[in-house]
Structure 1
Amino acid sequence: MKLTPAHIEELYKFTRKHFVEHYDVQTELVDHLANDIEEIWQAQPHISFQEARDKSFKKFGVFGFMDVVSAKQKQLSKRYTKILWKFMKAWFSIPKLFLTLLIFTFFYTLVGFRINNIIIDVFLILLTILQIFLASKLLRKANKRLKEKKRKYMLEEMIFRTGSLNSILLFSNFLSLSNFSDGITSIWGKCIFSSLITMAIIFSYISLIIIPQKAEELLQENYPEYKLG
């Protein structure tokens, strides 16, 4: 026996019922279930679709589909990291390299003044507020996209949500750096401090602006069916 389109649709509903919300993960599970059900039918042609489906589902163990979802998250997290580093490496080219040097020089000079670290505090607080604003804007866009589209993809959610949250977390941690800025006197110390701030700014710009702008292209590369979603 072969599965019908109605059976396939039932399998999609079945995965959603078991808390699999992303279409790309649903599709992998439906393909697996469909193949397994057809094998079960070859051995036991008398049983119903629901019975064959439940037999197949039991093979996933106590946690059901959760292990598959977790494995997919790890896989796509690595994919997102590769995308991020690809844009990070592309950033370090002329004329962007010149802009990077300007940012670095600005913070290096600021630390070199050796005055009260209130000025650095102010800059870091302003940068953090800007990150929160941009991240909140991106999260609102993500929520709107996910409500409008019929299908939700895990990589899409990472592009619009993971990048936002990572950027906020990064800059909130950087606020603590200002406590050490008064004690930095060596050239190496000032270079490290300025480099960290510069890299944080570039990271946030790429994750909050560049990658979301390239979202459609990136998603179509990973999901040929994305245009149909």
Structure 2
Amino acid sequence: MHKTLNAEQIEQLYTFTRQHFVEYYDLQTELVDHLANAIETLWEVKPQLTFDDALKTEFKKFGIYGFSDVVEERQKALGKKYTKLMARYFKEFFKLPRILLTIAMFVITYKLFKFFLPVYIPLILILEGFSFYRIIKLKKIYKVKTDATGKRWLLEEMIYRGGSAMAVAGMTIQFMQFALRDHLQEIFILLMALVFVLSLMHSYVVLYVIPAKATEHLSAAYPGYKWEKL
């Protein structure tokens, strides 16, 4: 008779991966699936083995570093997978009629900067302020949910880091100051308008659109995933 793992043993595998420093639940799931399949395959040859003995046998195959090498490899793989998902969400977002709205915003911003360029600095600071406020809110939501469920997700961490990239836009303030000393040419105004509009779109997609899309993907891939309403 072919032996299979029951629900309690599957949960023990999750506990085992956590005890061996696998933090993210999606990475835990990858390892649990691997261990479960390996144990059931081993039972086909040695059905007399207990669950604990079978687990020890399979864990030894990971070597002296345990899960560390596999976790690093799988984390890179999942990171690439999630990066592709984010790129896809960006691509899906910039379609009609949003692309027309983006062009219109660029034209309006360009004319505003051309008429009164100093408004650029307060607009960038306001945009960064809203972005950091949103990041802090997301971080609090993650903490509350993590404390409640005991689960961390790699994609959530990536979204938080992605939102932090908005701070790079502040570097353009230095560029503006340099341009002002050089008696601003037309190309500088165009570049500043472009940077501002792209920064605005980036913040909206990363901090609002992607979290909404991420829950659809992760809920389908991992039934245990639940994103708080944002």
- Provide TM-score, normalisation by structure 2: 0.77
Letter in 2 for 1:139: K
CA drift at 1:58? 2.7
1:128 correspondence with 2:128: yes
1:176 correspondence with 2:174: yes
* Cα distance in 1 for residues equivalent to 2:183 and 2:57: 65
Tell me the residue number matched to 1:216.
215
CA drift at 1:186? 4.3
Q: Verify the 8 A CA contact 1:184 1:190 in the aligned structure 2.
A: no
* Cα distance in 2 for residues equivalent to 1:44 and 1:95: 62
* Cα distance in 2 for residues equivalent to 1:10 and 1:219: 22
CA drift at 1:92? 3.1
Tell me the residue number matched to 2:198.
199
Unaligned runs of 5+ in 1: none
CA drift at 1:43? 5.6
Residues 184, 145 of structure 1: alpha-carbon distance in 2 compared, 3 angstrom cutoff: farther
1:140-159 alignment to 2 at 5 Å?
140-149=140-149, 151-159=151-159
Q: Verify the 8 A CA contact 1:125 1:175 in the aligned structure 2.
A: no
Letter in 2 for 1:21: E
Residues 181, 69 of structure 1: alpha-carbon distance in 2 compared, 3 angstrom cutoff: farther
Q: Verify the 8 A CA contact 1:171 1:200 in the aligned structure 2.
A: yes
Residues 37, 213 of structure 1: alpha-carbon distance in 2 compared, 3 angstrom cutoff: closer
Q: Specify which of 34, 55, 75 is matched with residue 73 of structure 1.
A: 75
* Cα distance in 2 for residues equivalent to 1:200 and 1:145: 29
Deviations 1:167-210 (A, max 9, x none): 3x333444433333424744444333322221111011011112
Residues 144, 202 of structure 1: alpha-carbon distance in 2 compared, 3 angstrom cutoff: same
Residues 92, 48 of structure 1: alpha-carbon distance in 2 compared, 3 angstrom cutoff: closer
Residues 173, 144 of structure 1: alpha-carbon distance in 2 compared, 3 angstrom cutoff: farther
Residues 205, 47 of structure 1: alpha-carbon distance in 2 compared, 3 angstrom cutoff: same
Residue 214 of structure 1 aligns to a residue whose secondary structure is helix
Tell me the residue number matched to 1:27.
29
Q: Verify the 8 A CA contact 1:111 1:184 in the aligned structure 2.
A: no
Q: Verify the 8 A CA contact 1:20 1:26 in the aligned structure 2.
A: yes
Q: How many residue pairs align between the two structures?
A: 223
Residue 20 of structure 1 aligns to a residue whose secondary structure is coil
* Cα distance in 1 for residues equivalent to 2:107 and 2:51: 67
Q: Verify the 8 A CA contact 1:136 1:164 in the aligned structure 2.
A: no
Q: Which stretch of the first structure deviates more once superposed, 34-43 or 61-70?
A: 34-43
